[in-house]
Amino acid sequence: MTEQLIVLPTGWLVPGRAVEDAAIDAQTDAEAAAVWLQAKGGRSANTFDAYRREALRLLLWLGEQRLSLAELKVEHAHRYYAHLANPPKHWLRPRKPKLDEILLPTQVLAGALSNPSIDYTRTVLSQLCAYLQDAGYLQRNVFRLSVKPPVVIETVPTRLLDLASWHWLWNWILALPQDEAVAAAQAARSRWLFALLYHTGLRREEAAHGRMGDFVRKERAWSLRVLGKGNKEKFVTVNSALLRELIHYRQTLGLEDYPVPGEPVPLVASVNAARRSKPLTPRAIGLLVQTVGAKAAADCEDAHIRAQLDRMTTHWLRHTNATHRLLAGASLETTQDELGHADPKTTRIYAKATDQRRQEDAEKLAQLAQGGPADT
């Protein structure tokens, strides 16, 4: 049933108003949101999870405010944005909950949301209210009427590792201690995960859902079958460096060097042998990347590299892949295909970050100001 898509604690939700001539059969706001989620969230598993998360957060907040969707006004939307930007403690979940720890229903935030994240929330909730307005369930869309949070639009990617930072991080990963079995397994998984994300530019959801059987060999070339955004199938090329890392990782798992079709082992496996058949969740992969980044940053003496490592996420590695590919001389066309960008303008952004002539031309001015030759 659709209402089970969004489950709230008993007595938490303020009852919505059932509208007799509405196009949907919903008795509560949770049921109405679930109808929207079922209609609009099926584009991909990632979209579904993101939309459900936004709806659940709003419904939990409405429950605390003793409000229904129909009662919302524009000022309520602004109060909600402020709540997300500065959430109270009972809305924050621990980074690593204990196995027996029982979380509060409201512990759904890892931390305060940035303006870009709040802008995304505004967009999704505006879509939710627009759908319910068209269905006759709501009279107005307060999120569409609300003020858009100020967001700096990046024309050049800044959330990436430069080449020096990547080399430092990779050498740090290669030197991870392996004196005990658990440490060796964790080091091998970290090495494989970072090699995989760096050389393919996969999203964390794509890495989490992948299996070893998704590697495909045609003639002597290897590629990785990936189900990307919108359930679009793509094949990412496996270069020689990644193939070597794949063999190394499989050997640490006690597997044959090369995967075979249909092999069910997760692309990134648990270090616990008993749970090896169960893939890591996208969130677990994200936490693993951030944990490695934080530990590496603690060991790094270079403040500029340390700042990058401390903020690194899985999506940073995707940006890093695109930028370093173009820096190495890859074409925009192949980079677009590998990353699965629908619009070539998205890929073109990374080319701006690799334009060495800007640095060279800027240096000409420095030479001129010092009285040196302008053509060196």
Q: Kindly report the CATH number assigned to the domain that includes residue 206.
A: 1.10.443.10
Please check whether residues 37 and 91 belong to one and the same domain. yes
The confidence score (pLDDT) of residue 231 equals: 73
Please check whether residues 115 and 233 belong to one and the same domain. no
CB 144 within 8 A of CB 126: yes
Could you tell me which of 187, 171, 191, 176 has the C-alpha nearest to residue 271? Answer: 187
Please check whether residues 206 and 86 belong to one and the same domain. no
Please check whether residues 182 and 270 belong to one and the same domain. yes
What mean pLDDT comes out for the span 182-196? Answer: 96
Q: Provide the whole-model pTM.
A: 0.67
What mean pLDDT comes out for the span 4-32? Answer: 74
- Residue 1 CB contacts under 8 Å (≥ 6 apart), including other chains: none
pLDDT tens string 103-133: 888 999 989 999 989 999 999 999 999 999 9
Please check whether residues 220 and 298 belong to one and the same domain. yes
Please check whether residues 238 and 288 belong to one and the same domain. yes
Is 98 inside any structural domain? yes
Please check whether residues 94 and 216 belong to one and the same domain. no
Could you tell me which of 248, 110, 255 has the C-alpha nearest to residue 190? Answer: 248
pLDDT tens string 321-332: 988 888 888 887
- Domain boundaries, position 186: 163-359
Instruction: Tell me what the pLDDT averaged over the chain comes to.
Output: 87
